[in-house]
Amino acid sequence: MRVGRKLTGGRYKKPTKKKKTGRQKQARIVKLGPRRIKLLGGRGKTSKIVSFAGQECNIIVKGKAKKATIKNVVETTANSFLARQNILVKGAVIETDLGNAKITNRPSQEGQIQAVLIE
């Protein structure tokens, strides 16, 4: 049997052509530090603000939003190595001025960091 052929002798064809939009982009890692953002263009006329570093977050306390500075990443349920490197991801527990908080959004996809206070 020849490589790339079915048992009947027919060829295997690719379902679609490789396109530029199908390529993977480089992973965005949001670290703890002075705020660094970038404006990315999307399909059509859309644009997205992505974050690469941040040290301030919006914390919801009893229904009100307050701004606080992030001191440290305490733990990350997704991967314990991310907490050691102070990488901010969704679900990470962070230490702030107001106390410990949990990140509720995806900072790599959005330009800011949102969190909820843990009591």
Nearest 5°: phi and psi at 33? Answer: 165, -170
Q: Identify which has the larger pLDDT, 75 or 2.
A: 75
For residues 31-48, give the mean pLDDT.
Answer: 90
Residue 113: DSSP 8-state: -
What single string gives the DSSP state of each residue in 89-103?
-TT-EEEESSSEEEE
CATH of the domain at 48: 3.10.290.70
The parent domain of residue 109 ranges over: 21-117
Q: What is the pLDDT of residue 88?
A: 95
Q: What is the pLDDT of residue 51?
A: 92
Query: Does the residue 1 lie in any domain?
Result: no
What CA–CA distances, in Å, run from 106 to 51, 80, 89, 118?
A: 10, 17, 6, 18
> Looking at this protein, which amino acid is placed at residue 43?
R
For residues 49-60, give the mean pLDDT.
Answer: 94
81 pLDDT above the threshold of 90: yes
Query: Does the residue 5 lie in any domain?
Result: no
What CA–CA distances, in Å, run from 84 to 51, 72, 80, 81?
A: 20, 9, 7, 5
